[in-house]
Each structure stands twice: as C-alpha cells, then as structure tokens.
A and B are shown apart, each in its own frame.
Chain A
Amino acid sequence: MLTRDYARYTLAAVRAHRARSLLTVTGIAIGIAAVVLLTAIGEGIHRFVLAEFTQFGTNLIAITPGKTSTLGMSGAVISNVRPLSLDDARALRRVNQIQAVVPMVQGNAPVEGNSRSRRTMVLGVGADVPQVWQMRPAIGRFLPADATAGARAFAVLGSKLKSELFANASPLGARVRIGGEPYRVIGVMESKGQMLGFDLDDSVFIPVDRALAMFNRDSLMEIDLLYAAEADSEALAERVRALLERRHGGVDFTITTQDQMLEVAGSVLDVLTLAVAALGGISLAVGGIGILTIMTIAVRERRGEIGLLRALGAAKRQILVLFLGEAVALALLGGLAGLAVGAGGAWLIGVLVPALPTHTAWDFALAAEVSAALIGLAAGVLPAMQAAGLDPISALRDE
C-alpha cells in the first residue's frame, strides 16, 4: 500500500461521517484554542512586564545599601550603620564606561503651591535623571548639575502633581513649599504612567542633597548607574563592587544589574505561563478521550470493512496504521482549527481590549500541535489494536 493510498483511505473515512468528525475535531480544537489563547495572554503579559522594566533604559545597574535578603528588600534601605553616601555616587561617576549616575532617596511630604496642597512622593535625585531613567521634562528643564552639592532650591513636578496643583496654568517660576521649605519650579516632566505600582507622575523631583537634609538622613536608598552600551555588565558590576568595597571596607551593599532583574521576572512569568498552559491542557486531554470514544465506535461499525481488508490480504500492521492515521488526522485537524481560533482570538483581544496585552507564543502553539498529534496517537492505539486483532472470518460474517 502506498503512502498516498493510506492518506486517501484515512481522509475518506474522516469525510464519510461528517458530523461525527466535525464534533471530534471541535473537541480537540477547543482544547488547543484554550492553550494557544492562554499562553498568548501569558506571553503578552511577559512582554508587557519586560517593557515596563526596560522603559527606564536597558544599560542600568542599581546599587542598594545592605545585602538584600532572599525575600524582598533588606532593612538597610531604611537605615543602616554604613550608609551609601553621595560621595560614593560621585566616586562611581569616575568608573570607566559609567556614563551617568543617579543617587536617589525617596520619601513622602506635602507639596503646597498655588494655594493648594497635596501629600505626595518626593524623589531626591541627581541631574542625570533624564539620561538614566529616560524621562524628559515636557516643559522647562530638569534639575541643574549642582544637585549633589550645595544645590539651589529647584523642583521639577510630575505631570499629575502639576495638574493637581496648577490645573492648566504654567507652573514655571512658581514657588512651592515642599515639606515646609520653599522651592522654585523649573520644569514639568512628561507623563510616564504607572510603573509596577509606583506612579511617577504623582511626584516631585528635588535635588538629592536637599532631600537628604529634609528627611534628616545620610544614606541614599539607591544609586542607579547608566553604562555604555558596549560594556559588559558583569565585568562592570565587578569593577563597581571592587570600588565600593575599597571605600566601605566590606561588601555591605547589593548590586543588581538589569539583566538579573529581567531574568528573575522572566523566569517567574515563564512558570506562570507554563502553569496556565497545563490548565488548558486538561481540556486537550478530555478532547483526547473524545477521539478514543469515536475511534472505538468507528472500529465497531466498520468490522465488516476490516474483515474484507484482512481477507484481501491486508496485514495486521496495515490495519493498525490505517486506524492510527485516522485518529491522528482527527487530532491534527482539530489542532489546526484550534490554532486558527486561538491565534485569531488573541489578535481580536489585542484589538478590542488594548489594555490586555496578548502575543501568540509560537513555541507553545507548536508544542500544543505536537501534543495534539501525540494525543491522537495515544487515543488511537487501543481502537487500532482492537481493529488489527479482529478475526477476519467472524468480522466478515457480521456484515
């Protein structure tokens, strides 16, 4: 028997019972569509989070005081005995291949201006924020370069804070009081939106040394470094570590490169996507049982036909292959239909609900296709063996 004959026979069998084949295919298709759609949502969220992480630039190294324990932050960010100082930040600026440094301290204070008041996030930062965090002032300018020593009392408002305090009026040159101290507004940042729960638009940027004085502390909460694109992040992190170790006499800080951050976030999200795919896989398994049922029925109905084939000299193996082929064909058809529906649904969600990011994960889709074929194979084995094991004489007599 030629391969072509096998294919023709199988397809004819599938076509002979249109309604039945259609329903079986539908069962598998629903399973596959669920897997494809769910992983598409998972992958979309994955990409969304990666984009959130990288919107502040990609070549970043963050240094926080204290050794971070396995669970989240260490207490050192709040207070510690060996602070991460502004001098450290200045020294880091001189490291080869470091292009910009942002020392950061964050707090909460009332901002009063234009006879209104709002309690909000205060970020004490250096002048390099536009470069390192990739956010630019919409109007005016950012803090001048004296932000780390003897800074003038300038403030830059986040876009939301600006509209809360000044509505549509231009705040440039206006006086505001932050934590009771007078500042002059020299710029307004463009809107950046939420970043993992932090609303950077509802904030005010002031020079870091003034913020340290306002909060009465001597340790920075974080230093962000921007390095040259061609630099090797590992080697650079090592140089930074060596420098700070010399200055502090020990490793009492944590260096996190953005690669590490992305890796951690990525692996967590991968596990999630996998779990969701497995949940969708349950439907696939139920679809597999559907194929098994229908194939069992088919073998029973076509006993006469099988008997005839055997009487004409078809080997047991050939019968086996015929029925296995039918099961796999059903599964594959279902897989293709499911892929179309799933990918189409993902696309539709992307168009209709832009807030929910989707991206068809083709590797998962391929895996789903392969597992559909495997399920078809597994479901077909029992009925096919049953068919192959029929005694030709008694099978023919049934006709």
Chain B
Amino acid sequence: MRLDDDLHFALRALTGHRARTWLTLLAMGLGTATVILLSALGEGARIYVSNEFTQLGTHLLIVLPGRNETTGGPPPLLGETPRDLTLDDAIALTRSRLVEQIAPIAVGSAPVSHGNREREVTILGSTAEFQPIRSIELAQGRFLPPGDLARGRPVAVLGETLAQELFANRTALGQWVRIGDRRFRVIGLLSSTGVSLGTDLGDLAIIPVASAQALFNSPALFRILVQARGRGALAPAEEAIREILRERHEGEDDVTIITQDAMLATFDKILNALTLAVSGIAAISLIVAGVLIMNVMLVAVSQRSAEIGLLKALGAARRQIIGLFLTEALLLASAGTVGGLLSAYAGVSLFNAQIDAFQLVVPLWAPLAAVSVSLATGLFFGLLPALRASRLDPVAALAGR
C-alpha cells in the first residue's frame, strides 16, 4: 500500500462520518486556539512592559542610597540612611566622562494650594535634565530651566490632574501656587502621558531639586537618575559611579545601583514564566481533545470491524492496518490544529486591528509547541485503537461479531 492510498483511505473514512469528524476537529481546534491566544496575550504583555521601560529613557542607571547585603534580597527601595545621598554627590557624578547627564530626585508630599483650593500631592524635586531622561512631554509652557542645581528657583511644573483640580478650566500658566509654606510660579503643564511605571504623572508637581530640599528641610536625595554615554558605557559607568561615591563617602560602599537591564530582565523572567504557565494550563484541553480522538477512533474500529476483516483476508499485514488507523488519527489531530491555528491568528489580527493600546503578539514557540503537542496526542491516543484494529481476528471480524 502506498502512502497516498493510505491517506485516501483515511480521508474517505473521515468524510464518511461528517458530524463526528467535525466535532473532533472543533475540540482539537478549540484547544490549539486557546493555547495560541493565551501565549499571544502573555507575549503581548511582555513586549508592552519592555516598551514601557524603553520609554523610561535609555542607558539609564538609578542610584539609591543604602545597600542590603542579603544575597538575592531586594534593594532598599525605601528608607533612610545615616549618610544621605546629597546634591553634591550628584554633581560629582557629572565629572565622569562616561556620564552623559544626571537628574537628582527628591520626593515628598505637601499641600499645593491656589486661592481657596488645596490638594495634597507628591512633590518631585528635580532638574531640567529630568525631562530628556524620562522623555516627559509638556502640554503647555516649558520645563524647569537649566542652570545651577544648587539654586532653587520658585517655579513649578504641574501634572494635569493637579492643574485641573486647582484651576479648573482657567489658565494655570504664570499663576502663583503655594506649596507647603513657599510660593511657586507655574511655568509648565505636563501632558497626560498617564501612569509611567507606578508613578501617576498627572497628580504631582515638579519643582527644582534645591527648592524641594529646602521645602522638606532635608539634604537627602531619593534617587539619582544617571544617563550613561551609550549602551557600552553602562557597566563602566556603574563602576565609575561606585568609585566616585565611595571616595566621597569615606571609603564606604553604601549605595545601590540598579541598571535598567536588570529590572527589565526581572520583569521578562516573571512574564515568561506566567505565559508558560497559562499556556500549559490551556494545553490540558489538548489532552482532553486527544482522549476524544481516541474515543472516536475506538468507535470507528468497532464499527468497521467487517472492513478490517476484509482487508486482513485480502492479505493486509498488521503493520498496514496500524498505519491506516494511525493516519486517520493524525489527520484528525493535524486538521484540527491547523483550523485552530488559523482561527487564533485571525482572532489576534482582529484584536490588534480593534485595539491600538495593546498588541497581541504570537511568540514563535507557540505554534511550534501547539502543533507538536497535538500531533503527539494524535499519535499517542491513536495508537491504542490502531493496535486493537490490527489484532482483530479476520474470520470473526468478517462474520461481524
């Protein structure tokens, strides 16, 4: 028997029982489609997050005060240290050739008021360089002016929500607001870029870092953002920063430096694991579909025992019978998988056409894994019925018993 005879026979058998063939295909297709769609969702989320990180600015190093010597422990994201990271430390960092620009950040919260309206918001003290480093867009006016870091000018840039709350629909530019016990002139409004990695850029005020330090009466910086000169300079820049700060801190290594890549890698790992877990759960449905294939094939074998008997009487070897039924099972599995793949890809492109903010991306491994898993299930679950068919006694089978 040749291969195309084999295929022909199996196809005829399948088209002979349309209802059950369609249902089996549906089950297989449903399983494949969910695996692909869920993995596309996970991959889409991963790409979305990594885009968010690139938005954060490229070649970025974040210096925070304090260091934990716990292996694998989290860095001290929040908390005080006996030796603060100061503005002078930040200025000293610019002396390194590897550092393109820096943005010191002081954070606190204070009431911002205009007229009789008041709102308690996060106050971010920074410098003109904060804008290019975090790629912040302005809706109106300008950002903090460049100049001497240590001089605190009474100017402020407001987030959109804050401006709306204080000024309603009147123009905010050029107005005076009171932050804590000081007065600041509004020189710019942030555009509503929304939430950037946990910080709501709508509900804050940005003032010069020296003003913030005076406002909160504390010389401590919360973070220093450092932009390195190019990607290759990241590692040497980290080393240089550590060296400079160690010198300034009496030989003590008391800062934590986080690179953007390290953060991104962590997120990547988490999201990849999640995607795999979710796709794995969905793949259980492929096994259920495999059980269904086995069931249908068993029914087919018992219904077609006379036919098998005839084949055997005509001299078909056991191997040939096994081949016939395995081909049928594999055909069912692969056709279902192809249908599932097609509908999954159609669903993904439909989703992407409708929604711009979030794109689904089918990872390369997903269709490969789905196809190999479903073919394996087809083979595995087709084997038992095929073996049963091959073991039929030709005389008894022909007699229809």
Binding site for B on A (CB under 8 A): 19-20, 23-24, 26-27, 30-31, 34, 38, 65-67, 69-81, 105-110, 118-121, 179-180, 197, 199, 202, 214-217, 221, 250, 252, 276, 279-280, 282-283, 285-287, 289-290, 292-294, 296-297, 301
Contact = CB atoms under 8 A, between A and B. Distances in A.
Contact of B70 (A66, A120, A282): A120
B299 interface: yes
Contacts of A30: 284, 287-288, 291
B288 A287 contact: yes
B122 A286 contact: no
Interface string B125-145: 000000000000000000000
B218 A202 contact: no
Q: 7 shortest A-B CB distances, which residue pairs?
A: A108-B66, A215-B80, A76-B109, A179-B82, A107-B80, A79-B108, A75-B122
Interface string B68-100: 111001101011111010000000000000000
B291 A79 contact: no
Interface in B1-42: 17, 19-20, 23-24, 26-27, 30-31, 34, 38
A77 B68 CA distance: 20
A217 B218 CA distance: 8
Interface secondary structure of B, over-half rule: mixed
B344 interface: no
Contacts, number: 192
Contact of B288 (A79, A105, A283): A283
Contacts of B236: none
A280 B282 CA distance: 7
B76 A293 contact: no
B110 A81 contact: yes
Contacts of B294: 23
Contact of A105 (B80, B109, B203): B80
B381 to A, nearest CB: 9
Given A107-B81, A108-B79, A290-B295, A76 B203 contact: no
A66 B120 contact: yes
A289 B70 CA distance: 53
A286 B31 contact: yes
A121 B68 contact: yes
A75 B76 contact: no
Contacts of B74: 197
B106 interface: yes
B252 interface: yes
A78 B254 contact: no
B107 interface: yes
Contact of B69 (A24, A119, A250): A119
Nearest to A23: B295
Interface residues of B, number: 66
Given A120-B69, A120-B70, A279 B82 contact: no
A27 B293 CA distance: 10
27 contacts: A23-B292, A23-B294, A27-B295, A71-B198, A72-B198, A76-B109, A76-B120, A78-B107, A78-B222, A79-B220, A81-B110, A81-B180, A81-B216, A106-B79, A107-B76, A108-B79, A119-B68, A197-B74, A199-B70, A215-B80, A216-B84, A280-B284, A282-B284, A282-B285, A289-B30, A293-B20, A293-B24
Nearest to A214: B82
Contacts of B282: 279, 282
B78 A77 contact: yes
Contacts of B69: 118-120
**In the complex, which of the residues A34, A81, A286 has the most CB atoms of chain B within 10 Å of its own CB atom?**
A286
Given A69-B200, A289-B26, A119 B288 contact: no
B347 interface: no
A293 B295 contact: yes
A240 to B, nearest CB: 18
B380 to A, nearest CB: 13
A296 B122 CA distance: 65
Contacts of A77: 78
Interface in B264-312: 278, 281-282, 284-285, 287-289, 291-292, 294-296, 298-299, 303
A286 B295 CA distance: 13
B256 to A, nearest CB: 9
B45 interface: no
A215 B81 CA distance: 6
Given A81-B108, A119-B68, A290 B216 contact: no
Contacts of A292: 23
A283 B282 CA distance: 7
A283 B285 contact: yes
B23 A79 contact: no
B280 to A, nearest CB: 10
Contacts of B120: 66-67, 76, 252
Contacts of A76: 108-109, 120, 122
